[in-house]
Structure 1
Amino acid sequence: MTGRRRWAAALLAVASLVAVGPFVLMLLVALSPGSAPTLPNRLPDSLTGDNLAGVLSTESFLRWTATTVIYSVVSVVAVLLSASMAAYVFARKRFAGREVLLWSLLSTMMVPFHALLMPSVVVISRLGWSGTYAGLIVPTLANAQAVLLLRQFIAALPDEVFDAARVDGAGDWRVYLSIVLPLCRPVLATLAVFVFLWHWNDFLWPLVVAQSDEMRTLTVGLSTLEAGHLTAGQLMASATVTGVPCLLVFVLLQRHLVRTIGFTGSGR
């Protein structure tokens, strides 16, 4: 190994420790016995799962988890379906005003979410969706980034595949279901990771829309617990349990990330 590679490996090792260190400390605090953690003064003498067991048995925490799961999973499915349909139209259909519509959609990426927060709240309130799953999920489904990524992927697919399907008499729905979706599995998996992490960790929108304790997500619920009389170990146990689904989703689907970057590097 050359000197340059040794320095690169050392820098990567340091960067890994910096990135993983806070999570290790969080887990140690969550597993520390007693009302106060021993970190950073010294490592705990023993580890216990009492804090984790207490969090998992809390009724509010389980209710917030269920709300967050519904919010995240439904949003992932809805975003992938709607974005893939729009991307197929923009990539493979020819119609008047296509470029104008595409650039109009992409221009929404330059508008900060905070600028749309109050108008969205007003619309949700007038529709009677405040404090409901519809109000929580529907406004987050328009995802221009997902449409752009899928559009680039579909545009890079060989024309011969679509021409053969047309020769066989396949309509748009058959092409979409039998060709587009199967071929887009890598990019769909990648988008599923991003959309899931975004909704699972979302704080501002659920905070504004949720009108009751039942509709709170984990991020909002944990912020209320932090204001209470919980120990640091219990707070870190809550954060640990909350982060496990994100880690599992990333580990299961991360192999698709590199494939997606390679396929979407060129488009038309």
Structure 2
Amino acid sequence: MTLTADRTAATSSPTAPVRPRPPRRWPLTVLLGMVAVLTVSPFLVMLVVALSPAGEPTVPTAWPRTLTFDNIVQTLSVSGFTRWTLNSVIYALVSVVITLLTASMAGYAFAKKRFPGRDALMWAFVATLMVPFQATLIPMFVLISNFGGVDTFWGLIVPTLANSQAVFLMRQFIRDLPDELFDAAKVDGASEWRIYWRIVLPLTRPILATLGVFVFLWHWNDFLWPHVMAQSDEMRTLTVGLATLRSEGVPLATVMASATVSVVPCLLVFALLQRYLVNSIAMTGLK
């Protein structure tokens, strides 16, 4: 009787909720770790070769016994390295500022303005993304050459300012902004320039920072167009200058040290704008 009563009580008592077993995430963690190691390994090899003393193997099979900064010091003393770095800074920064201004203006017009042929013009502009840059390289060079832009900063910068991808991203971001803000500004008598400067630019700061990072990296690492336009050593960018070092018989360790120094500005730009990148991703998720 007692055993039966105990079984009945156990059956009638409410059972404790069963906690779901947490999913196994270690396979994904291992896979992501392997991808991260494969991604970082070329940069580690570059850094090891750059810090290896003279006489070490060019492709290290193990961590060097001693590390030295002699190669980096020698890089800074290479003829033309300072000029190449300055050219890359001018090429990247000027392109970023003008591209962000023009892309935000065009994105605002395509997103909030109504005019005949707006959608057709927008998609025709986006369709240029499917045309590879190599297909327009020769016609663009001939056009810039006829205007006397070869071996000049404006000939290097102007053809890269029409960034259809930046315009498309700005248009998609501005289109989700509430129309009531713009209507209220128009009721208050704000001009189009004031609406753009006081409403559009502050609200699009996250996407502007994201595009700024992408445009800077693209121009900083650009090689083909600067290589075609730079006819003299004084107009070479850093990427073109580094490519010429090996042909001049410069040791591989010095070339790797130069490449290591060229990565520093990219890391600084990403570190300074990382907060805006996170905000841009978060706002995109909320939308």
C-alpha displacement at 1:238, in angstroms?
0.7
Aligned to 1:73: 93
1:251-262 to structure 2, matched below 5 A, reads 251-262=271-282
Tell me whether 83-92 or 5-14 shows the greater mean CA deviation.
5-14
C-alpha displacement at 1:230, in angstroms?
1.6
Tell me whether 64-73 or 156-165 shows the greater mean CA deviation.
156-165
1:12-161 to structure 2, matched below 5 A, reads 12-37=32-57, 39-161=59-181
How many residues are paired up? 267
Contact 1:156 1:264 in 2 (8 A): no
**Distance in 1, Cα, partners of 2:53 & 2:60:** 15
C-alpha displacement at 1:262, in angstroms?
4.8
Letter in 2 for 1:162: F
Could you tell me the percent identity over the aligned residues?
60
Contact 1:35 1:232 in 2 (8 A): no
Q: For each residue in 1:140-179, what CA deviation from the matched residue of structure 2 results, as whole angstroms up to 9, or x when unmatched?
A: 0000000000001100001111111111110110000000
Contact 1:67 1:216 in 2 (8 A): yes
**Distance in 2, Cα, partners of 1:209 & 1:183:** 37
C-alpha displacement at 1:42, in angstroms?
2.9
Q: For each residue in 1:71-125, what CA deviation from the matched residue of structure 2 results, as whole angstroms up to 9, or x when unmatched?
A: 0000000100011011111111111111121112111111111110011001100
Contact 2:52 2:66 in 1 (8 A): yes
Contact 2:227 2:240 in 1 (8 A): yes
**Distance in 2, Cα, partners of 1:15 & 1:188:** 29
Where has structure 1 moved over 3 Å in runs of 4 or more? 35-39, 261-267
Letter in 1 for 2:229: V
Alpha-carbon RMSD across the aligned residues, in angstroms, is 1.8
C-alpha displacement at 1:3, in angstroms?
6.5
Letter in 2 for 1:46: T
C-alpha displacement at 1:259, in angstroms?
3.3
Aligned to 2:190: 170
State which structure, 1 or 2, has the greater radius of gyration over its C-alpha atoms.
Answer: 2
User: Structure 2: which 5+ runs fail to align?
Assistant: 1-20
**Distance in 1, Cα, partners of 2:81 & 2:280:** 36
Letter in 1 for 2:254: Q
Letter in 1 for 2:187: V
